[in-house]
Structure formats: C-alpha cells, structure tokens
Amino acid sequence: MSEVTILKMGKNIIVPIQVELHDRAALRLQEDILKKIEETESTGLIIDVSAVSVVDSFLGRLLGETAKMARLIGAETVLVGMKKEVVITLIQLGMVIKDLHTAINIEDGMVLLERLKSGRPSIQEQEV
C-alpha cells in the first residue's frame, strides 16, 4: 500500500497527496488508485495536489497517465489545487499534459466531475 490516503465519497474517490512522492511511491500510488476505482466501482477521481510543492516530468507524466487509465476503467479524473509556482515550472520544463481536467479546489473539482460524468462539460476544458 502507498503512504497516501485514498478516500471514498459516494461514487467518487479523493486522493489528497500530502507527502513528497519519490518515483516508486508515485507508481505505487497509481496502482492503488486504479485498484480502488475497480473495487469500489467509482466513476470519479479527484487528485488533490495542493500540498505538492514539486511536480517534475515524472510525476507530471504519471498524473496524466493515471487520468487516462482511470477513464479506461470508467472513472473521470479532475486534478485539483495545482500551485501557480508548480504550473509555471511545469510549463517551462516543457511538459505537455493533454486531456487532463483541472479545477482550483476540491469543491470546484466535484462540480466539474459531475458535469464530466453527465457528459455535458460546460466548464472550458483545459490543457496543461
């Protein structure tokens, strides 16, 4: 099991990342998230990175991949809480994370998630 808590709320899973993840721990978390979605038949995933101070190319790519994988087993993903310093750095680093839905906080993330699930995304989709 990874050291990150995975919470279930209704049909959604919420993952608040509160620790600095090294590469193996991040891979383990990805596996645990997918397992949890499968077990609980969740249809939504929120990954909260508001406490994450560094997103490098590895973690950035992994987050994008996790969203794609989650979709393949039936869950939409919204990444919430990315800090502006992290965003600026990711873009300058040259990262392209496509098709990842984002929101400013968990509350907005939940709203977006429900819209995505109902197949009527009205918040402008973002590409990082």
CB 74 within 8 A of CB 109: no
Phi, psi of 2 (to 5 degrees): -80, 165
Residue with smaller CB distance to another protein, 58 or 74: 58
Site string for another protein, 8-37 (x = CB under 8 A): ------------x-xxxx------------
**Residue 95 C-beta: closest distance to another protein, Å:** 7
Size of the site for another protein (CB under 8 A): 23
The angle subtended at Cα 93 by Cα 87 and Cα 94, nearest 5°, is 100
Residues of this chain, 72-91, that bind another protein according to CB under 8 A: 83-86, 88-90
- Structure-token match 């050291």, residue found: 3
**Whether the Cβ atoms of residue 80 and residue 46 lie closer than 8 Å to each other:** yes
Residue nearer to another protein on the CB measure, 25 or 34: 25
State which residue, 20 or 41, has the beta carbon closest to another protein. 20
DSSP-derived secondary structure letter, 14: E
| Interacting residue with another protein among 11, 30, 50, 61 (CB under 8 A) | 61
C-alpha span between 118 and 128 (Å, rounded): 23
Interface positions with another protein (CB under 8 A) = 20, 22-25, 53-58, 61, 83-86, 88-90, 92-95
